[in-house]
């Protein structure tokens, strides 16, 4: 608990962004591990057999959990969430930019998930970059 107070006191934007990133990844993990088929369908993903169901759990659920845990690990071991924020920022920005590019290549702009993902991911990426620039004041 003491390290959380110390990190929060040293750089609130970093702590806030890192906690939001970790919660996002942990939330994705729970969603895809608990109900892989239902949630994958809302992402326009349909496995062809049970191995595909396992892959959804592993790659969307397992890797999301690992990313969230790794960001928290970095924050607590290094005593700063700055590198966690940068890692999460790279990840989120890359996903958003790649989705935006291939939205046009694959002509997926009319899909219901895309209509939700683009504004939500865009807002999340902007918020992370704002936290990054605010965090620089504390370094």
Q: Exposed/middle/buried for 3, CB within 10 Å: 0-12, 13-18, 19+?
A: exposed
Q: Which residue has the higher pLDDT, 138 or 66?
A: 66
List, for residues 20-74, the tens digit of each pLDDT value: 999 999 999 999 999 999 988 888 888 999 999 999 999 999 999 999 999 999 9
As for how many domains the chain has, the answer is: 1
Token pair recorded at residue 13: 């934007």
List, for residues 12-22, the tens digit of each pLDDT value: 899 899 999 99
Whole-number Å distance between alpha carbons of 55 and 102 = 22
What percentage of the chain carries pLDDT values higher than 70?
99
Total residue count of the chain as it appears in this document: 139
In this prediction, residue 121 carries a pLDDT of 95
Could you tell me the residue range of the domain that residue 17 belongs to?
A: 2-138
Token pair recorded at residue 15: 């702590």
Sign of dihedral through CA atoms 7, 129, 29, 70? negative
In this prediction, residue 70 carries a pLDDT of 95
List, for residues 92-135, the tens digit of each pLDDT value: 999 999 999 999 999 888 888 888 899 999 999 999 999 999 99
Identify whether the C-beta of residue 64 lies closer than 8 Å to the C-beta of residue 26.
Answer: yes
In this prediction, residue 1 carries a pLDDT of 66
């Amino acid at each position: 608990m003491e390290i959380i107070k110390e990190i929060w006191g040293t750089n609130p934007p970093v702590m806030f962004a890192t906690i939001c990133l970790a919660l996002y990844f942990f939330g994705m993990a729970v969603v895809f591990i608990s109900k892989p088929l239902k949630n994958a369908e809302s992402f326009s993903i349909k496995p062809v057999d049970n191995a595909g169901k396992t892959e959804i759990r592993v790659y969307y659920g397992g890797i999301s959990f690992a990313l969230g845990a790794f960001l928290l690990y970095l924050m607590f071991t290094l005593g700063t969430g700055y590198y966690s924020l940068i890692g999460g920022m790279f990840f989120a920005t890359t996903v958003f930019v790649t989705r935006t590019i291939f939205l046009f290549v694959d002509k997926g702009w009319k899909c219901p998930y895309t209509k939700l993902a683009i504004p939500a991911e865009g807002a999340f990426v902007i918020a992370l970059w704002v936290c990054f620039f605010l965090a620089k004041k504390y370094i």
